[in-house]
Structure 1
């Protein structure tokens, strides 16, 4: 997906940066996410130390940041002076020993709970008690990460979206023990960095990765059931729903293994709730090594130039399905599940309706937020559609949220 669009996030000059009391920023992990976060913080005027235990990794990442800043200069989005100043603010380090006292440290290492716990325990010992410790995790529980931190009230999530310099959205995630003052302070800081922060509690998948599960799951289930082929389902969601990519082509783009891992994580963290159960279709693709574009095949098969081979939508079938029974209408069925998931999240008090809609528009470029879509369709209509699906496919996946009809979300 092309995320380099107006509103997706733009470079900010040093003059535009709001002065912050956080001062120096540490970033642990010099992969694509860590390097991008370092670039954002440095462009906003902070001295940044970028740490990676692999020899030379932080230096190489800073070189990539320099190239990215040069491209922004060439596009006229940043002055040469500001780009040079931002790059000069980033210092490499090969251990946590190299971190100075920071106002904020953001961990951006791979999704491994034990590794993250070890990093946070060490950071808590080395950094002052006033340092905010943030994780860029996309789905791991904040409280688990903070288990070995003596003062867990300063641990929270800052989930940036890839690539961080371009994507505006940041999920600010509050654990059960996170102090509200830190959440408010970091939210203000993200705004000063030119980001659009949304707040949520540490629920499995947070907002975006939780609410988006049905977008992928319903498409896979309809293909499994023989309701329609993948190309037709994708065409309906793109052309009739306004989504930038269909769900099946999107999982090929993300990587079937990556998408399955996130979905499985949410499923396991929700005690194997049927709403999030992985499909045999996706499991089979991963087991067969059909991981999507990166492997040359996934749901679709790709030519050497990346073009999809032999996948034309059946437009006559699409015309019959859209507007028909909800069980066989890919668009209505998907929207009903997206609205249901979002409504449940809001009803549980895990995020506000506005933050859910903002997150889904900015994080995965939905044409409307699911709460807004629910108002448009009618929450009562969505409840009836889900009841029909629950009758057709019993087991709990399609159970309607009580909040659809009790007026708690409007």
Structure 2
């Protein structure tokens, strides 16, 4: 559509669900890659599901977006249309292409409405029983060749596939929010997932313009597991009275190069959301002390101080900005470079490196995939294994030994991979 000519009263971007073209018209708009793979189903029309549907449709697939809540899928498609219009207004997408993308998405109210798909991605809330029911139904409704993927951020893939007759086709495709913007996708395999399906899904994510990383179904996968110390160490430092949140945030941001400090980031994410993910990892690891939630964060959530969305978290907010969050720069100068137990930066980096090399040593992901995941998924300035090489794995091991002596209990146990030479 040329913006210099008179436009009709309504364009395809303005269509309501009742006047969408039929499926054959939408399929013809797909790319060769998309037509070779077939239709895509997305189950769950929340922010993640709608975003994934948009990504798949932009890649050329005919997409059916399903939600059991009446009207939810239709509203999500309208939201995708609004998002596409914003891209057109910013000059990032042609109007004709935006029209074609939207025409490829069909809203539906039940799994029965899904056509035969090459891929179905579930993006419903993090409820294992709900996911199990959906996957059992999908296995009955879809051909045995359909890849069944979950967008879960932390639930075990084998547990989700427990009632699927062909568990070898169940895997995780963990997109990051917002899916149309974030490049990273964790491709997660369970113990029963077939290698061919993992390879297939990995290639498809590349065709969608994403950067896939592969890992086994370890608690939290790569990003949500390796990132736990970034939050946990900061909270423990503040709990012990070593420093205030604003000073810790300043140190991690200004001296460490992280895009946000741990307290401003958890306020942005939502203290309740961050606590839930951390608690899930802790429970799935048998209450390993490395992942134990802090009393500081539990109290924030119990008091309703959830962060920006509630107007108060670690910080109070007015007009979208934190109030009174001034760091103590003199204190920061004394802490950084001092003993590791009171140095927020050294302590956090040691734990991030330890977590990453331990994951690699267990064979759950490669060094390259771990570093890529943390750079893209959390915008860390370096991958943690790369950081470990820069600091020196022997230095990290010594720092952790000092922390373990200062705070016994197992949280700071060094990974054997730091000193056994396996990482080169």
**TM-score interval for Structure 1 and Structure 2 normalised by the shorter chain:** over 0.9
Distance 2:32 2:368 in 1: 26
Aligned 8 A contact 1:31 1:109 in 2: yes
Task: Report the counterpart of residue 210 of structure 1 in structure 2.
Answer: 225
Aligned 8 A contact 1:207 1:356 in 2: yes
Distance 1:208 1:393 in 2: 25
Say whether residues 1:235 and 2:247 are aligned partners.
Answer: no
Task: Report the counterpart of residue 290 of structure 1 in structure 2.
Answer: 305
Task: Report the counterpart of residue 11 of structure 1 in structure 2.
Answer: none
Total equivalences in the alignment: 396
> C-alpha offsets along residues 139-164 of structure 1, whole Å, 9 cap, x if unaligned?
00000000000000000000000000
Say whether residues 1:393 and 2:407 are aligned partners.
Answer: yes
Task: Report the counterpart of residue 327 of structure 1 in structure 2.
Answer: 341
Task: Report the counterpart of residue 190 of structure 1 in structure 2.
Answer: 205
Aligned 8 A contact 2:35 2:60 in 1: no
In the alignment, which of 309, 317, 325 is matched to residue 331 of structure 2? Answer: 317
Say whether residues 1:160 and 2:175 are aligned partners.
Answer: yes
Task: Report the counterpart of residue 70 of structure 1 in structure 2.
Answer: 85
Distance 1:148 1:238 in 2: 45
What SS class does the counterpart of residue 245 from structure 1 fall into? coil
1:21 to partner: Cα distance: 3.2
Alignment root-mean-square deviation, CA: 1.0
Aligned 8 A contact 1:20 1:189 in 2: no
Task: Report the counterpart of residue 18 of structure 2 in structure 1.
Answer: none
Please identify, of 288-297 and 162-171, the stretch whose mean Cα deviation from structure 2 is larger.
288-297
Task: Report the counterpart of residue 8 of structure 1 in structure 2.
Answer: none
Change (3 A) 1:323 1:17: farther
What SS class does the counterpart of residue 198 from structure 1 fall into? strand
In the alignment, which of 136, 139, 147 is matched to residue 132 of structure 1? Answer: 147
Q: When the two structures are superposed, what TM-score results if normalisation uses the length of structure 1?
A: 0.95
In the alignment, which of 98, 101, 120 is matched to residue 135 of structure 2? Answer: 120
Task: Report the counterpart of residue 7 of structure 1 in structure 2.
Answer: none
Unaligned runs of 5+ residues in structure 1 are 1-13
Please identify, of 78-87 and 229-238, the stretch whose mean Cα deviation from structure 2 is larger.
78-87
Say whether residues 1:338 and 2:352 are aligned partners.
Answer: yes
What SS class does the counterpart of residue 162 from structure 2 fall into? coil
Distance 1:80 1:128 in 2: 36
What SS class does the counterpart of residue 231 from structure 1 fall into? helix
Task: Report the counterpart of residue 180 of structure 1 in structure 2.
Answer: 195
Unaligned runs of 5+ residues in structure 2 are 1-28
Task: Report the counterpart of residue 50 of structure 1 in structure 2.
Answer: 65
1:286 to partner: Cα distance: 0.6
1:15 to partner: Cα distance: 8.9
Aligned 8 A contact 1:156 1:174 in 2: yes
Task: Report the counterpart of residue 40 of structure 1 in structure 2.
Answer: 55
- Specify the structure having the higher radius of gyration (Cα): 2
Aligned 8 A contact 1:233 1:246 in 2: yes
Aligned 8 A contact 1:190 1:196 in 2: yes
Distance 1:385 1:374 in 2: 12
Task: Report the counterpart of residue 101 of structure 1 in structure 2.
Answer: 116
Distance 1:266 1:136 in 2: 16
Aligned 8 A contact 2:54 2:101 in 1: yes
Aligned 8 A contact 1:21 1:103 in 2: no
Say whether residues 1:307 and 2:321 are aligned partners.
Answer: yes
What SS class does the counterpart of residue 61 from structure 2 fall into? coil
